[in-house]
Structure 1
């Protein structure tokens, strides 16, 4: 039986490519379907042997486990389409954080898990966030753990913590990339350095920073202490950042949580049955 991917957008495609490049899945083991068919067919051209299903129902019938890589607003349509094809021995994995496991278990007879990936899995790094459903057996957990261990460090979290964990593991690469781009832009505006050089400097610095933290024995705190000698330029810069950053990260977390709560409610409303709607 194959492993299916419903949705081959940005993250669905990243997972497929990462599993293949890590030699964890062969293209022949993968079946995909996407609402925009040419995206799925492009993957099949790039990875000969990968199959494109005619529809989501065919994909589910061919899969022992399948990923739901669709946007929150698309879930009801997809679940209605596949509901009567899903078997109790299958594993259904959602990568969409606002969709609650309890709701998925009410819609599908399958064993359910929620696993939130990160763009860092494209280079087989970072954490994937693992929230197992109640129906998963120990062997099911082991299958999923081994699968994601090939491209990440899986981390079991509580579903209540999925938003903040996603902020730190999945959103922060974009947040930090934005801050680094702003730093490079400021360097260009304040001096005569070229933007190309400024971006190259912060990009290579980021590569070294990651290695220092993962391989070099540094923590975030000890690295600051090592670089920022008392009275030095870096120390003055850190003091300015302490003053200037203020509550921005608190505001950021409040914003992401407010948006998440809104998305959760919208999904829950969309997944209500007719009976529940009438009550």
Structure 2
């Protein structure tokens, strides 16, 4: 299997790292290109052993998958520059937020196109990924897509109309959790812990809680930790007083709305 990554940012790197680490792909089966950052391409080549797409772009002709991983504003230029090199057998797999399958096909024709929204936890094989595909993606290609994406984490097949919500929850979600971890660490330091101990305790708390989430209902887990009139109850009460769920709801709504807006810019 051969993959060409068009775009070489953190998302592409996370996926490449995950595929190589899980031995789904060999480094020589992956080629990378971007708009102009040659230093970035050389870094990926040295770090992972992948190939750099040459000026003739012949690597595109032999690709089974073309991973689109650039910024939304660069999609048109990227697709225009590669469309003449694409074969009808290649699946275009886009991880670009907001840009629809229909928009991509406007530039490349009726090639098989899939949209996925993974997150950077792909780097350690723990991405939460939503995926949708066009009617031109064959059953065998759907199977290959599932295998490719499941090698870097969990995969949920959704309708394309649901991908804005997937983007807001799974794609952007790790940043919300990291931000919460930052806030907990700062609060721990303000309450007397050293920065080192605060970070250590927060990391282990998140790690243990994440493992517990795999086995039990979220609300039940919270209730088991929250004894009446106890310390956890006091903390939860402060969150409720400040409309914690409402804040999270606004966070997801705003992220989803931004994903929709990015899509409208290209319609």
Matches of residues 38-77 of structure 1 in structure 2 within 5 Å? 38-48=39-49, 50-55=50-55, 57-77=57-77
Determine the C-alpha separation between the residues in 1 that align with 2:148 and 2:74.
Answer: 26
Alpha-carbon contact 1:33-1:59 (below 8 Å) kept: no
TM-score, normalised relative to structure 2: 0.93
Find the counterpart in structure 2 of residue 203 from structure 1. Answer: 203
Find the counterpart in structure 2 of residue 7 from structure 1. Answer: 7
Pair 1:121-2:122 in alignment = yes
Find the counterpart in structure 1 of residue 253 from structure 2. Answer: 254
CA deviation vs aligned residue, 1:147-185 (integer Å, no higher than 9, x gap): 111111111011111121122112111111111211221
Matches of residues 186-201 of structure 1 in structure 2 within 5 Å? 186-189=187-190, 191-201=191-201
Determine the C-alpha separation between the residues in 2 that align with 1:162 and 1:15.
Answer: 19
Unaligned runs of 5+ in 1: 269-279
CA deviation vs aligned residue, 1:60-90 (integer Å, no higher than 9, x gap): 2231221011110001111111122222221
Determine the C-alpha separation between the residues in 2 that align with 1:126 and 1:3.
Answer: 19
Aligned-residue RMSD, C-alpha: 1.6
Alpha-carbon contact 2:117-2:166 (below 8 Å) kept: no
Find the counterpart in structure 2 of residue 173 from structure 1. Answer: 174
SS at match of 1:267: coil
CA deviation vs aligned residue, 1:92-114 (integer Å, no higher than 9, x gap): 11101211001212321421101
Report the CA distance between 1:121 and its aligned residue. 1.2
Unaligned runs of 5+ in 2: none
Alpha-carbon contact 1:56-1:82 (below 8 Å) kept: no
Alpha-carbon contact 1:18-1:123 (below 8 Å) kept: yes
TM-score, normalised relative to structure 1: 0.89
